[in-house]
Amino acid sequence: MIGRYQGGLNNLRKASITVFSYLEEPLSNVRVYRQAINTNTYLRKQNVLLLDELSRLRAAEKRNEKLRELLQFSSESNLSLYPVQIVGKELNQITNSLTVDAGQEEGITNGMPMVSSEGLVGKVILTANGYSQIMPYFNTLFRVSAKLQQSNAYGIVSWDGENINELQLNYVPQTTEVDTGEVVVTSGYSNQFPPDIPIGKVLRTEPQAGKETQRVYIEPFVNLFEIAEGFIVKFKPDTTFQKLNEDYENLLQ
């Protein structure tokens, strides 16, 4: 019987394999589809994690680069510097302000300048235990005595409350030649800021109508929207110089 029906069994076996292959094909497609979905989900998750890690690495690289600049500035500066981090910003109004993580406990007092590796940021106006509030140069109440680095002509730097990208140096004589790109630094004449702290560079000049002075427009070196760290300069005005000015004003009264 086995010999007689061997051919028939082979045919039945072939037919069975063919039928099962047709039945298994859609089930196999379902398994492949589910595996593809799972693989795709896993790859999307890994892609998000890699993008997050890449973003963190780029941020860390930028921060490390900034910290290296601050470290180099600190090592090269002759000023007494205390490192601070900015923990709060208000830059959407005329009376803008910054908050840093150092205050009375760290020996910070009102009037001390804040600088970064690029230049002047502002000055301390309020202090508390562990925190201080900074008046940045983009504040209509901010004033600093400054000079042109090449000509030594000096004036007062302020902000008009309009253009967030420009400062103004006023009271510069029209006879003074001012070149575009010339650096403006603190003069030290007011006894409130140490001399030669960079403020910005000259953009353009405009003569003031009816006056013998010109207005110099400055692009500040420090970007207040990007700055995250800096230094408080532990600078105290010379009391002898202050007393001399007070005696002079009293003499004129």
Mean pLDDT of each 10-residue bin along the chain, 253 residues long: 52 66 62 75 82 76 69 72 92 88 92 92 94 94 93 92 90 91 90 89 90 93 91 81 69 72
pLDDT at position 44: 83
Model confidence pTM above 0.85: no
Instruction: Quote the CA–CA distance of 123 and 125 in Å, as a whole number.
Output: 6
pLDDT at position 242: 63
pLDDT at position 1: 42
- State whether CATH 2.40.10.350 applies to domain 81-237: yes
Could you tell me which residues are beta bridge partners of residue 90?
A: 97
DSSP 8-state symbol, 139: B
3 state DSSP class of 247: helix
pLDDT at position 2: 46
- Taking the chain, what is the end-to-end CA distance rounded to the nearest angstrom? 138
Do residues 131 and 192 make contact, with C-beta atoms less than 8 angstroms apart? Answer: no
Q: Which residues contact 190 (CB under 8 A, 6 or more apart)?
A: 144, 145
